[in-house]
Amino acid sequence: MKFSAALLTAVLTAVTVVSAVPFQRRAGAGAVRKMAGTTRLDAAGAVYLLSNDPNENQILVATINADGSLNLDSAVDAGGRGSHGKADGPDALFSQGSIKASKKGKVLAAVNPGSDTVSLFSINAKNPTKLTALGDPVSTEGEFPISVAFNADGTRFCVLNGGRVNGVNCYSVDKKLGPLAINNSLRLLTDKLKTDTPPAGPAGTASHILFSEDGKQLIVSVKGTPPNAGFFAVWDVAADGSLSADFKQVAPAKGGLLPFGMSVIPGKNAILATDAGIGFDVLDLADDSKSSANAIDGQVATCWSAFSSKTGNFYVTDIGTSAVTEVHVDDNLKGTIVGQTLLTPGSATIDLDIGTVNGRDFAYVLAANATSVDVIALDSPGLAERFSTLDISGPTSAAGISINPNNLQGMTVFTV
C-alpha cells in the first residue's frame, strides 16, 4: 500500500485531533457548572432543587438575596440519574422531600431516583451555593428513592424508596466518609405497597418521609388508590438511629384519601399532611381521636406543605389550581383556612419551602410547568403576597444544562 500525501495529511490531522481532545473526566457528585454572571457574595442563603434529568441529575442552586429574591447560581452534579414515574407531566416522583438541607448539620441530601442512590453534600455556611460531596453516592438498598429526611441536628438521615422494592433506610452523616448505613434501619413497606419501578401514580404510591418533632418516630405517608384510603407508616427510632422491626399503620381520619407532603405541628406531637384527595389531614401521633380530614374548596390535588415560624401557619400548594392555601392549626389541632394566594394558572405549583431572610419569611414555590420559582412574602398571618419570580429556563439553557419541566422536583432552603 502506497501512502499518498493526502492520506498522510489526513492521518496526521486525525492524530492531532485525537491528542487535542482533553481527557474526558467523568463528571461526579459535586462537579459544578456556573451560570453566567451570577456569582454573589452577599447571599442570605440558597435554595436547591433537582433537575431530575434521566441522563444526569443536577442540583440547581440559587442564591437568596438580602431582600429574599433569588438568583440562579449554578448546577451541581448530584452524582446519579433522575427518573419519572409512569404518568405524564410535572411531579415526576409523586413526592415531597427529594432534596433536603439541614441548617444545624450544614448538610444537603438528594435522591438519584434513576440510580437508586442518595448523595450527601456539606454546605459552606458562609457561601451556601458551595456544595462539597461527602463520600460517594450510596445505594438506598431499594428502588426509585423519592424523599429524604434529616433528624433535628442533621447527624442522621433516612431515605424513602418508592418503587417495586420500597421502604426506608437510614444513615449517619460522616463529614469525611459520607453516608454510613445505620444497622437495623432498612425496613420494607412492600407488604402494604405493591408497585413498580418506576411506579404508576400518583395514586397508590409513597409520598414523603419525616421525623416527628422529638425525633423518636419516623413517619412515611402513602397515597391510597381510590376508593381505598392511603396510610401513614410510623416506626420507632432508637437512640442509635435504628428502627423498630415493624411499623404502626395509621389511617388518616375519615375522609382522608391521599396523604402527601407532611409538616410537623410544633409542640403538638402531630403532623399536618396535605391530602391530594380532599385538602389536608391533621394526624395526632398520640391520640387518633384528635386527627381530622379537612376540605379545601375547589382543590384539585393539594400535595406539598411547609410551615412558617413567623406567621405560625402552614402553606400548601396544589398542582392543579396553582393556589397556595394558608392553614392555621389551633391548640386543639383544629385546622382552618386563612387565605389563598393565586400563582400563575397552569404553572403546576409543586414543592415549596420557607426561609427566614433578615427577619422576614418567604415561601419559595417551584412552578415546574413554568420552569420558575415563585417567591411569596409572608409578612403576617393572612398576608401572603407575590414578591418575585426566578426564571430557571433562560440561565440553564444559556449554560447548556438540560431542563425538562416534567422532571423538575424538590425545593429546600438553607439560610445563613
Ligand X SMILES: *[C@@H]1O[C@H](CO)[C@@H](O)[C@H](O)[C@H]1NC(C)=O
Site of interaction with ligand X (CB under 6 A): 89-90, 183, 319, 346, 348, 369
* Calpha distance 409→93 (Å, rounded): 7
Quote the least distance from Cβ 209 to ligand X, whole Å: 22
Task: Spell out the residues 6+ positions from residue 283 whose beta carbon is closer than 8 angstroms to its own.
Answer: 232, 250, 252, 253, 270, 271, 272, 273, 291
Quote the least distance from Cβ 242 to ligand X, whole Å: 8
Quote the least distance from Cβ 288 to ligand X, whole Å: 34
Q: Which residues are 272's β-sheet partners?
A: 263, 282
Which is closer to ligand X, CB of 266 or CB of 346?
346
Q: Any alpha helices (H) in 333-414, and if so which ranges?
A: 393-398
Which is closer to ligand X, CB of 344 or CB of 402?
344
Which is closer to ligand X, CB of 346 or CB of 382?
346
Hey, what's the cell of 158?
433516612
Q: DSSP characters for 278-337?
A: TEEEEEESS-GGG-EEEE-TT-S-EEEEEE-TTT--EEEEETTT-EEEEEEE-TT--EEE
Q: Any idea what the Cα angle at residue 137 is, between residues 161 and 396, rounded to 5°?
A: 90
* Calpha distance 341→375 (Å, rounded): 11
Which is closer to ligand X, CB of 205 or CB of 311?
205
Quote the least distance from Cβ 408 to ligand X, whole Å: 12
* Calpha distance 330→66 (Å, rounded): 32
Quote the least distance from Cβ 296 to ligand X, whole Å: 18
Quote the least distance from Cβ 220 to ligand X, whole Å: 23
Quote the strand ranges of 142-257, DSSP E.
145-150, 156-161, 167-174, 178-181, 187-188, 206-211, 217-222, 231-236, 248-250
Quote the least distance from Cβ 149 to ligand X, whole Å: 20
Which is closer to ligand X, CB of 89 or CB of 382?
89
Which is closer to ligand X, CB of 24 or CB of 183?
183
Contact 52, 409 (CB under 8 A): yes
Quote the least distance from Cβ 19 to ligand X, whole Å: 47
Quote the least distance from Cβ 360 to ligand X, whole Å: 29
The number of angstroms, rounded, from the C-alpha of 19 to the middle of its chain's C-alpha atoms is 43
Residue 162's SS3 state is coil
* Calpha distance 355→378 (Å, rounded): 10
Q: Any idea what the Cα angle at residue 378 is, between residues 374 and 383, rounded to 5°?
A: 110
Contact 211, 149 (CB under 8 A): yes
Which is closer to ligand X, CB of 272 or CB of 411?
411
Quote the least distance from Cβ 192 to ligand X, whole Å: 27
- The verdict on whether omega for the bond into residue 227 sits within 30 degrees of 0, i.e. cis, is yes
Contact 94, 199 (CB under 8 A): yes
* Calpha distance 275→127 (Å, rounded): 36
Which is closer to ligand X, CB of 170 or CB of 376?
170
Quote the least distance from Cβ 185 to ligand X, whole Å: 10
Which is closer to ligand X, CB of 58 or CB of 369?
369
Contact 63, 71 (CB under 8 A): yes
